[in-house]
Chains A and B, each alone.
Chain A
């Protein structure tokens, strides 16, 4: 496809995101990628393309977009108001964007990160093996009015599908596993950590999310004596003032603050999406539980296509939907089209 998606206007934090890049940790660059990984899988299920395809990540608010050719799009992540030439569009659904029509995406009704997917993916050039902007590293930049985004080849044709989505946009309980320095927090501190209601601070971004609380600071046994070591997305770092930060996909590669635990990867989307002020709690699970919870989440997201339903409740228009191949080629709604895995 030779068309482009034009950015007519957009919020301050709209970037191209995919699954990020592996292979550069040793040289100081973390994986980055979409803050809400599940949203990429949902967009991929709706459009019948691989979840590694790049989409637009919109923080808090979207923008106005116009395509030079007819496009299939999907909207996932934080639900935002969306209209196509002033006709409201359903979120968590796929639609056709006719050539020249204006897609308007407004503010988030809940959550933080909304996603606009296009059939075949956004096809900006890869830098270090990925299309993701990694702003904290200085890779790529936020989109601005006047940008024209190249589009990948779309092998599909179906739109008008909806995905049922559980609410992960308003905080909740976050499951964590013990990690490198959990033992440096005494049992009473760990128990208090899990009993404490937190609220997401207004300060939160793709590097980290600060967790406010009204109780005493959380301190490790040797709070300042820790040598810098590897940190990973999901680590809950206790800064010098005793306030926890959940490290996110664009965190640095090393850090010297103690970490009380690590958020399960499948719950990190919920942390990312929690809007300012949202209530959050943390709960330790055992390693065995963590592995089985994560395995179940991976299985569920690879089977997302099975949960697609027609957007229009017209049984005559899309009868026996799931028996049809949803895109040209060998992909069907009941098979796992992504069994080749993500990078």
Chain B
């Protein structure tokens, strides 16, 4: 049984129906930076339309999901509106939306707090000191949020950070762990097992359900993870009551 209601079409972007839950606009079938930017920019454009049948929108790595009532609204009608909006520009070169936030999240690299720094550095062909310098200076973008509330998948790091996941899972890394694989960095929302390598530790909590801003990050935000000393990290940890983890932020213009 094929999806007769929507022509498959060649190439991207392409639109697929997600059950009766909405339509999905895919900009690629592999992770590409330009396709990720396209998905984030297109989501902002859909939001700006304020279409009444749309409940909400989200992005995955290279797609925009438009959650909508496909019982009251014919999928074909929404698909045509999305096609028309897609046709207004080349989304792969679209500017990212204004009002995104740049975050600086203090990070303790290596030590007992993040025991896989050396292993990850070696996999990337770097000394531990070079790895800390590169990860500290990198400015990555929130590619998508998922797995747990608020948990950012950020990237992309330079190509030599395309290191594979470990064969065996690490039993558990703590909340706030900075982990790396496949040119991406994640800050963990909750303690969790992982196949990614634990290279840094932050006091940043991506999900703070009891605070005024429970989920601080949004896809498209940018982050750097500057290195701090063990003493400075301990000071942040001791004084932090909000889960901000000493992070500074400013709005990108």
Contact = CB atoms under 8 A, between A and B. Distances in A.
Interface string A178-189: 111011000100
Contacts of B189: 28, 138
A287 B67 CA distance: 17
Contacts of A228: 60-61, 144, 146
Interface stretch (B14-22, B155-163, B166-174): B14-22
B87 interface: no
A287 B17 contact: yes
A167 interface: no
The winner among B1, B2, B16, B149 for most chain A CB atoms within 10 A is: B1
A252 B147 contact: yes
B242 to A, nearest CB: 17
A178 B71 contact: no
Interface string B67-93: 100111011000000000000000000
A47 interface: no
Contact of B58 (A183, A227, A230, A294): A230
Interface stretch (B124-132, B215-223, B232-240): B215-223
Interface residues of B, number: 52
Nearest to B214: A128
B215 A28 contact: yes
Interface stretch (A17-25, A199-207, A312-320): A17-25
A290 B71 CA distance: 8
B218 A27 contact: yes
Contact of A254 (B19, B55, B144): B144
Contacts of B74: 291
A25 B31 contact: no
Residue with the highest number of chain B CB atoms closer than 10 Å, among A27, A182, A264:
A27
Label chain B's interface by main secondary structure. loop
A263 B31 CA distance: 28
A254 B4 CA distance: 25
Given A227-B62, A287-B5, A28 B18 contact: no
B20 A264 contact: yes
B39 to A, nearest CB: 10
A320 B240 CA distance: 64
B146 A28 contact: yes
B150 A180 contact: no
B146 A227 contact: no
Contact of A232 (B4, B19, B29): B19
B60 A138 contact: no
A182 B209 contact: no
A282 to B, nearest CB: 12
B57 interface: yes
A216 interface: no
Contact of A25 (B1, B17, B65): B65
Interface in B104-136: none
Nearest to A231: B18
A252 B148 CA distance: 7
Contacts, number: 142
A265 interface: yes
A232 B17 CA distance: 11
B218 to A, nearest CB: 7
Interface in A307-332: none
A242 B26 CA distance: 25
A23 B57 CA distance: 8
A284 B3 CA distance: 11
A295 B70 CA distance: 10
B3 A178 contact: yes
B20 A28 contact: no
A294 to B, nearest CB: 5
B26 A182 contact: no
A160 B232 CA distance: 65
Interface in A137-187: 137-139, 177-180, 182-183, 187
Contact of B56 (A25, A262, A286, A291): A25
B17 A229 contact: no
Given A29-B215, A128-B214, A232 B21 contact: yes
A23 B150 contact: no
Contacts of B20: 177, 262, 264-265, 290-291, 294
Interface of A: 22-29, 127-128, 137-139, 177-180, 182-183, 187, 190, 227-230, 232-235, 252-254, 261-265, 284, 286-287, 290-291, 294-295, 298
Given A180-B24, A232-B21, A262-B21, 18 more contacts: A25-B56, A25-B58, A25-B65, A26-B58, A138-B189, A178-B2, A178-B17, A179-B3, A179-B18, A183-B3, A183-B8, A228-B60, A233-B21, A253-B58, A253-B146, A262-B18, A291-B71, A295-B71
Closest 9 CB pairs of A and B: A262-B19, A26-B58, A25-B58, A27-B215, A230-B65, A232-B21, A254-B146, A28-B145, A29-B149
Interface of B: 1-5, 8, 16-22, 24, 26, 29-31, 43, 55-63, 65, 67, 70-72, 74-75, 144-151, 189-190, 207, 209, 214-215, 217-219
28 contacts: A25-B56, A25-B67, A26-B56, A26-B145, A26-B218, A26-B219, A28-B145, A28-B148, A28-B149, A127-B214, A128-B209, A137-B148, A137-B149, A137-B207, A138-B149, A138-B190, A177-B19, A178-B17, A227-B31, A229-B60, A230-B24, A230-B60, A252-B146, A252-B148, A253-B146, A264-B20, A286-B4, A287-B17
